[in-house]
Structure 1
Amino acid sequence: MRRLMIADDSAVICKVAKRILSGLDYLVIEASNAGEAMIMCDAQLPDVLCVDSGMTGALDLISSVRQMEGGKDVRIYYLMIEKEFKQMMAGKRAGADDFLLKPFDRRILTETFAPYAAAA
């Protein structure tokens, strides 16, 4: 089972994503802030990491994960409320692989993450 971490300070976003992604055979781990996510990543890196762009320390979390042993293999999504070019470039420079707009629904999460779950 692949591990997916959601680092987002919104309990609602985490709850919805966890329910949907658990159904795709992901082991979903939640972190409510960047510090908590970093501690969890130090213990065991996830296969997929979703980081809320509005969370304090989001870019530092992404770049720190990239620098960890095995961090280059983590698929990182930068969660955004709107497509803002400067914010997207900052996420890309930090090491994000892709972007996902919030709020998301079952269809978006399934289309985005089902292929990776099946590859496990």
Structure 2
Amino acid sequence: MKSCLVVDDSKVIRKVARHILESLDFQVAEAVDGSDAIEQCRATEPDVVLLDWNMPVMGGMDFLRALRSEGKKAKVIFCTTENGIPQIEAAIAAGADEFVMKPFDREMLHSKLQMVGVA
């Protein structure tokens, strides 16, 4: 079974993502910010990380840089309202694999998971 870490400070987004991912046969863990997420990835690296951009303590970009600097290979899908080309380019340059815009649905998320090769 594939695993996904959902990293978002919104409990509602985490709950929606969990519901969708579990329906796609993923084992799901949750983190409330990038700091929490990096600790979880150090303990058990997931197959894919669904990552929010704006979070307190440690945001998505800082988490992504930390994850990649530690040599972690998990696929990363940014899940965000940030849709500007500079943000997308910066995220890809930092090691993100794909983007999904909020709000998302099952079909959209499944498609992105397929694009990164985990669904």
TM-score range, shorter chain: 0.7 to 0.9
Q: Percent identity?
A: 37
SS in 2 for 1:6: strand
Contact residue 60 and residue 94 of structure 1 kept, 8 A? no
Structure 1 stretches of 4+ moved >4 Å: none
Looking at both structures, which has the greater relative contact order when contacts are Cα pairs under 8 Å and sequence separation is at least 6? 1
Q: Which residue of 2 aligns with 1:67?
A: 69
RMSD of aligned residue pairs (Cα, Å)? 1.5
Shift, 1:37, TM fit: 0.4
The equivalent of 1:87 in structure 2 is 87
Give yes or no for contact 2:98–2:112 (8 Å, CA) kept in 1: no
Query: Is 1:6 aligned to residue 6 of structure 2?
Result: yes
The CA distance in 2 between the partners of 1:79 and 1:23, in whole Å, is: 18
Residues 47 and 118 of structure 2 are in contact (CA less than 8 Å); yes or no, is this contact kept in structure 1?
Answer: no
Consecutive unaligned residues in structure 1, runs of 5 or more: none
Give the TM-score normalised by structure 2.
Answer: 0.87
Partner residue, 1:105: 105
Q: How many residues align?
A: 115
Q: How many angstroms apart in 1 are the aligned matches of 2:90 and 2:77? A: 13
